Amino acid sequence: MMFDITGKRFLFFLISEALILIGIISLVVFGLKPGIEFSSGSMLTVSFEQEVAQSELRQELVNLGYPNVIIQRTGEGDFFIRTRELTGEDKAALESALTARFGSVTERSITLWIASALIAILPVIMLATTFMTISKLMEKIDSLAAFSLVANTIYAPLALGRGSH
């Protein structure tokens, strides 16, 4: 049994438009909650020389005046910390306070920069690779078409018996 997709294209267009309209209405009604990338704030990735529990770190940051801090544990055992916007002095004071409480602190901010850059450039690399692949495929198709045209021009008369003997 064949399903006539082309014949029912207007139905599919209608379904697509309805889904898009529902999405737009939900954006207007509920809005978007911008992430820290769009709403200002500071991100730090830190590791400690000694073992630190996430709850201890959270309590210390609240005591230091960061009640809305977001802390996530990374796979390497580091902590990813999101806070309000920090100046250079604020960041230094925060690091020294954490060092005083938990021992040696190492910040790993370069990994965030590299990860952000890779995430930003990955779609561009994928598109470029796709276009290069399509371009090479089109070149092969063109060369096959040219070969076919030459072959038909040269060999077709011979096959029909009209060539010179």
* Tokens read off for 64: 């230091």
Is the pLDDT at 89 greater than 80? The verdict is: yes
User: How high is the pLDDT of residue 16?
Assistant: 92
DSSP E strand stretches across 1-50:
42-48
pLDDT of amino acid 21: 94
pLDDT confidence tier of residue 24, bands split at 50, 70 and 90: very high
Band of residue 14 on the pLDDT scale cut at 50, 70, 90: very high
- pLDDT class of 20 with cuts at 50, 70, 90: very high
- Phi first, then psi: what are they for 47, rounded to 5°? -130, 155
Domain boundaries, the chain: 36-107, 110-165
- Look at residues 95, 69, 92, 64 and name the one whose alpha carbon lies nearest to residue 80: 69
- The two tokens of residue 30 are 């509920």
CB–CB of 84/66 below 8 Å? yes
Q: Between 136 and 161, where is the model more confident?
A: 136
pLDDT tens-digit series, residues 92-104: 888 888 888 888 8
Calpha distance 111→135 (Å, rounded): 35
User: Is 36-107 in CATH node 3.30.70?
Assistant: yes
Rounded average pLDDT over 39-55: 80
The tokens describing 161, both together, are 């018996």
Confidence band, pLDDT 50/70/90 cuts, at residue 68: confident
Measured distance CA(62)–CA(78) in Å, rounded: 19
Pull the structure tokens for residue 11. 């139905």
Q: Which of 34-43, 79-88, 109-118, 135-144 has the highest mean pLDDT?
A: 79-88
Q: pLDDT over 90 for what percent of the chain?
A: 8
Q: What's the average model confidence in pLDDT over 93-116?
A: 75
Burial of residue 24 (CB within 10 Å: 0-12, 13-18, 19+) is: exposed
